[in-house]
Amino acid sequence: MPEHPLHVIFDNPVIPPNTGNAIRMCAGTGAHLHLVEPLGFELTEKHLRRAGLDYHDLADVTVHPTFDEAMKAVPGRVFAFTTTATTRFTDIAFEPGDALLFGTEPTGLPQEHIGHARITSELRIPMLEGRRSMNLSNAAAVATYEAWRQLGFIGGA
């Protein structure tokens, strides 16, 4: 069994409260949060700290200088969440050690990252027609909790 049930990767996040929310969510689920530089903020930014409340010390967060370094750091499959994917995230049988990859807030994942050799599949979160995308931290929470549910809420109370 991997040390962390899941890995969440934010590729070049730029909005501090989204990352703060993800830190809190990862602290609550045991997921390891990976942040790929460049970041649009400092990890000491007050809005990030406020969104994460007092959970920063309870979460495992790693900052990677490159996308390739982040891909090397995760042990399992890597699922890229995009708005153009045809496979719903609920159609996947998640496994311990899987990684959930999300792109930057304004533009999503760049094509070269979606096409990276480590990407197992592209997934989408269903939404009503005509909607562009979900908020980054909300999308990460929805996907992480579904994956963790499938894993039997490993370590959860």
Cis peptide before 13 (omega within 30 of 0): no
Considering the four listed CATH numbers 3.40.1280.10, 3.30.1050.10, 3.40.50.150, 3.40.50.880, the one that applies to the domain covering 6-150 is 3.40.1280.10
The answer on whether 137 is annotated among ligand-binding residues is no
User: Tens digit of pLDDT for each residue in 94-140?
Assistant: 999 999 999 999 899 999 999 999 999 999 999 999 988 899 999 99
Cβ neighbours of 59 (radius 10 Å):
19
Give the full edge-to-edge strand order of the sheet including 78-81: 60-64, 32-36, 6-11, 98-102, 78-81, 119-123
pLDDT-derived band at 38, boundaries 50, 70, 90: very high
The answer on whether 125 is annotated among ligand-binding residues is yes
Helix or strand holding residue 100 (H, E) = strand 98-102
User: Tens digit of pLDDT for each residue in 58-83?
Assistant: 889 999 999 999 999 999 999 999 99
Instruction: Report how far residue 94's alpha carbon sits from residue 144's, in angstroms, rounded to the nearest whole number.
Output: 10
The answer on whether 103 is annotated among ligand-binding residues is yes
Instruction: Report how far residue 57's alpha carbon sits from residue 123's, in angstroms, rounded to the nearest whole number.
Output: 30
**Domain regions of the chain by residue span:** 6-150
Enter the pTM of the model. 0.93
